[in-house]
Amino acid sequence: MKPLKGLKIVTVEHFAAGPYGSMYLADMGATVFKVENTASGGDPARKMGPYFLGDNDSLLFQGWNTNKNSIALDLKSEEGREAFLAIVRSADAVMNNLRGDQPEKLGIDYASLKAAKKDIVCLHISAYGRNNSRANWPGYDFLMQAEAGLMHLTGDPSADPTRFGVSIIDFMTGTVGVLGLLAALRKAGQTGEGCDVDVSLFDVALHQLGYAGTWYLNEGLESSRVARGSHMSVSPVQTFTAQDGWIYVMCMTERFWELMVDKLGRNDLKTDPRFVNQHARSANRDALTEVLDAEFAKAPAEHWLETFCGLLPVAPVLSVRDALENPFVAEVGMISEVPHEMRPDMRLLSNPIKFNGERLSQRPGSAFGAGCAETA
């Protein structure tokens, strides 16, 4: 099922945020034309290692660009501009993830394109936004994690400020961006007029503070890192040391707390004044950690996973290898075979969206310039 079949998107994008977002559109059936700079050889991600697929392609690039069609253009040339406008006239939306001052300069905002197509929707994904003092600043995911307070909240209190292990703000911003784009397309279909949609890495990163941000804004509470990856206000919700590794346990409710101590054979903990309710457990988190570590250390992680399976929210703490080799990943079909001409056995992560229980099909992103601007 391809619910966006018939939708035509033109995207001027590179690296992660824009490509990640437009990949969802392409996987769901939209025809996505990825405009890449002729002079530079295209999206820099094509040249990012350590694993390459020929001269101008890489596994990193393919991870964000399935089902797209590459068109090589120089938007600053007269010929390139005319070719671009020809594509826009038959498109539904134009998106980009350039620096905030670039869309207007390149003429890819709504003010510049509405003469070519009145109902065109223009999505702008930038580092800091387009209409402020930082519009011309370059910016990347990790900078946003730093400035938005997320690194302050991540990791162990005794460790240095720590970023999330992958470019999560890029991925979130791309996803939020295409959500805005689809909403604007619905409105354009009703009114016959397009618009600009703006989403920035900075805004999305700040929004991810969630309840920590709300607490500070209303009560002045400045949250900080908590040991063992614990929840800030609920306990026990954290890692524990089993006999042979780490597990993560989440007693988000009193019911789960009681179930856990029952299975551990430690009903005495229910009446211990240090742990008698959620407030007490959070206030005495270190003491509770010591008690529960001693219990979980009595058996391997697999024993506890089997003991609590389906009853208590619990998970093993896995490496990337073990996470991808997890039999459950194969059971749910989260890895797809996507044959590439340079690597017939290429595997990628599946799109996480399913329709009527079916995963979306994927093909490799096309080679640089393999699309045809004249027929796009």
The residues that are catalytic are 231
3-state secondary structure 308-353: HCCCCCEEECCCHHHHHHCHHHHHHCCEEECCECCECCCEEECCCC
Q: Where are the alpha helices (DSSP H) in 165-228?
A: 168-191, 201-207, 210-219
Convert 321-345 to b/e letters by CB count within 10 Å (16 or more is b).
eeeeeeeeeeeeeeebebebeebee
Convert 93-116 to b/e letters by CB count within 10 Å (16 or more is b).
bbbbbbbbebbeebebbbebbeeb
Calculate the CA 309 to chain-centre distance: 28
Q: What's the burial of 90, exposed, middle or buried (CB within 10 Å: 0-12/13-18/19+)?
A: exposed
Q: What angle do CA 147, 152, 153 make, to 5 degrees?
A: 120
Tokens for 233? Answer: 């206000």
* Under 8 Å between Cβ of 28 and 2: yes
Tokens for 173? Answer: 């911003």
Sign for the pseudo-dihedral over CA of 214, 216, 219, 221: positive
